[in-house]
Amino acid sequence: MGRVIEGRPLVAGEAAGEVLATDEPLSFWGGYDPGTGEFIDRRHPLSGQMGAGKVLVIPSTRGSSTTSAVLLEAIRAETAPAAILTAGADTFLALASIVADEMYRRPLPIIALSESDFATIRTGDSVRVEADGRILVEPRR
């Protein structure tokens, strides 16, 4: 049976998809290929996996503001995750989504979760993100 998590929308929006989760922070600069949607940082646990269309669950980003530029390009190229859930506010992710909404009319939902809720979402779960920050989670079977 599914459960509901109350998140805080940093950028509101609706999305649904399969979860791809990690407990390691991610740098999109050098870590994500915006042309393909593949995680390319060979030292990261998500290396070689595809993020396009998934609901990405990461604790935070790592690195500089170039994360915003890479994510913005992925949104433009339609190779970005469907939504990103984080263990707290992440301004680099929010900035990319806000700019994508202004430039392309394609906001990417960015939802901040409590640490305890963040820890309950697993790769393979199916989630639906609501505009108010509610997340409906169906555990993988």
Please tell me the distance from the alpha carbon of residue 58 to that of residue 68, in angstroms, as a whole number: 15
Q: Tell me, what DSSP letter sits at residue 26? A: B
Q: Which of 60, 64, 65, 116 is catalytic?
A: 64
64 as an active site residue: the answer is yes
Q: Tell me, what DSSP letter sits at residue 67? A: H
Please tell me the distance from the alpha carbon of residue 20 to that of residue 125, in angstroms, as a whole number: 8
Taking a C-beta distance cutoff of 8 angstroms, is the pair 80, 37 a contact? yes
Q: Tell me, what DSSP letter sits at residue 32? A: E
Give the burial class of 91: count Cβ atoms within 10 A of its Cβ; 0-12 exposed, 13-18 middle, 19 or more buried. middle
The residues annotated as belonging to the active site are: 64
